[in-house]
Amino acid sequence: MPHSDLIRKYFSAYENKDRKAVESLLTNDFVFTSPYDYRIDRETYFKRCWPYSEKSPTYGIETLFEKGNEAVILYDCKTKDGGSSRNAEFFTIEGNKIKEVEVYFGSAPKDAWEDKIESSGSESDAETQFSGNKRRDSSFATE
99: in domain: yes
Domain count, the chain: 1
54: in domain: yes
14-38 average pLDDT score:
96
Query: Which pLDDT score, from 0 to 100, does residue 112 have?
Result: 56
CA distance 104 to 113: 19
Query: Which pLDDT score, from 0 to 100, does residue 120 have?
Result: 57
- Average model confidence (pLDDT) for the chain? 82
Domain containing residue 75: 3-108
Confidence label for 1 from pLDDT (cuts 50, 70 and 90): confident
35: in domain: yes
pLDDT digits (tens, 9 = 90+) for 55-84: 878 999 999 999 999 999 999 998 888 888
Domain with residue 47: its CATH number is: 3.10.450.50
Q: Hey, how many other C-beta atoms are within 10 angstroms of the C-beta on 117?
A: 17
Which are the contacts of 91, defined by CB distance < 8 A and separation ≥ 6?
3, 7, 70, 71, 72, 73, 98, 100, 101
119: in domain: no
60: in domain: yes
Of the candidate ranges 24-28, 83-87, 119-123, 128-132, the one whose mean pLDDT is the lowest: 128-132
In the chain, the N- to C-terminal Cα span, in Å, equals 20
